[in-house]
Amino acid sequence: MKLTPDIIGRIVEYSGDRVALWTLRNYMDPRLYNNLRLYKRRHLIYGEVQSGKTAAIIEAIQNPLYAGVHKVIILQNSLLVMSQTLQRLHSAGIEYQMVHRKTQRIDKEVIVLMNNKSRYIRFLRMFNVVGQPLKKYVLFMDESDSYHRGQHLLAVNAVHEYYVTATPYHKLYKSPGFFHTIHNVETSPQYKGLNNITIEYNDASVSTIVRQFYQDVRKRQDKGMMLINAFRKVSEMFNIGLSLSEEFKQIVFVTLNSERRIISNGVFHKLKSQPISQLIDSLNQAKYIVFIANRMSLRGLSYCSSDYTRHLTHQYSDLTFGTVTNALQRMRLFGKYIDNNPIKLILPTTNEKIIEKMFDNLDIKFEISREFS
């Protein structure tokens, strides 16, 4: 007996198998295929900090099931993160459009938005024509736990919702059946995370910490980079950078805030806006680099050169104030590295308890809906 397109479609629908859906798409009723490929679903992309979640987003965007469907990416409000993400999309050969206050029309399939309500409203006005049926799209919410506390404004008309995070601890995420699928980003053997680094508790001054960084790297006869994100105030960061640069003339200091500065030997000048990777590339001749940052060092930023051969080797933080989520997101020295250089995290002794909590939260489990996934 010959199977009709309708019967094949129903078999695929009841199987709940996305591979079968794609394989048998040409043998199904096109209307049913479109309904199934765009069946309302929520996905979680979960992985450790800097373990490859952006690559997972790019892979999902390139899914053939989404051909001809608009993809909307929401980024946190950070120009550095935006520059870094756009660079990754460009490298993957993905054409995109940024929505900003001067946007007059939507003419790309991949759309990038900053996490800003005015940008959302402008996108919706440009995307949907008054009097016409609402158009649908696939929504990617990067670092979703930082702004997701209920249904997102753009989730209403999204056929698929992707929640991307390294810290999915919000109670809504743990609701039974909230996610239809969960993609755990596998860590490669080269990944350096909380389980693969040296953690040193040290109550010494920041000057002493920097001196130890310098001595560690010099002993290896290699290059090294350090991130200091233990300070809150911009003025404090800048003054410490100036002071340290006069004491350690061999080290280049970079302060990262709304006004980025490079400091050497007590002299500073402002830097133009550019991705972190390009900044590191431009400092390739400097054997020792120390970044001093606070808000700008959180969530999504990778302190690596464009060829991934240079990365953070040391980080000095104070996690006393804040949640486990914020503590994990401060861990910018985690990542996949092609070398075997030791990675060291230096913390005050008061941080021991929060580190224990961070270890406890690494193993997260979720319940998955049995709907078509």
Structural domain includes residue 143: yes
Same-domain check for residues 332 and 314: yes
On whether both 114 and 208 belong to a single domain, the answer is no
> Mind listing the pLDDT tens digit for each residue in 249-293?
999 999 988 788 999 998 999 988 788 899 999 999 999 999 998
Same domain, residue pair 4 and 55: no
Q: Tell me the DSSP string of 295-361.
A: GGGSSS---B-TTS--B--EEE---SSS-HHHHHHT-TT-EE-SS----EEEE-GGGHHHHHHHHHT
Query: Does 107 share its domain with 12?
Result: no
Q: Is 349 inside a domain boundary? A: yes
pLDDT surpasses 60 at 304: yes
In angstroms, rounded to a whole number, what is the distance separating the alpha carbons of residues 180 and 248?
Answer: 53
Instruction: Measure the CA–CA gap between 21 and 33, rounded to whole angstroms.
Output: 7
The answer to pTM > 0.85 is: no
pLDDT at residue 130, as a whole number: 61
Asked whether residue 110 is assigned to any structural domain, the reply reads: yes
Same domain as 345, residue 258:
yes
pLDDT digits (tens, 9 = 90+) for 94-135: 999 999 888 888 999 999 999 888 888 889 888 886 667 778
Q: Which burial class, exposed, middle or buried, applies to 158 when counting CB atoms under 10 A from its CB (0-12, 13-18, 19+)? A: buried
Cα distance between residue 85 and residue 275, in whole Å: 9
Domain end call among 152, 184, 216 = 184
- Domain-located, residue 54: yes
Q: Are residues 165 and 201 in the same domain?
A: no
pLDDT at 370 over 60: no
Total domains, the chain? 3
Residue with tokens 């007996």, as numbered in its chain: 1
Task: Please check whether residue 129 lies inside any domain of the structure.
Answer: yes
Q: What pLDDT does 108 receive?
A: 93
Same domain, 73 and 201: no
Average pLDDT on 85-92 reads 93
Same domain, 209 and 234: yes
Percent of the chain with pLDDT over 90: 39
The overall average pLDDT reported for the chain is: 86
Is 160 within a domain? Answer: yes
Model confidence band, residue 369 (pLDDT cutoffs 50, 70, 90): low
Task: Note down the domain range covering 23.
Answer: 1-37
Q: List phi, psi (to 5°) of 292.
A: -120, 115
367 within some domain: no
Q: Is the pLDDT of residue 372 over 60?
A: no
* pLDDT above 60 (res 373): no
pLDDT at res. 149: 61
Nearest CA to 285 among 268, 263, 308, 310?
A: 310
Report the b/e string of 348-361 with b at 16+ CB within 10 A. beebeebbeebeeb
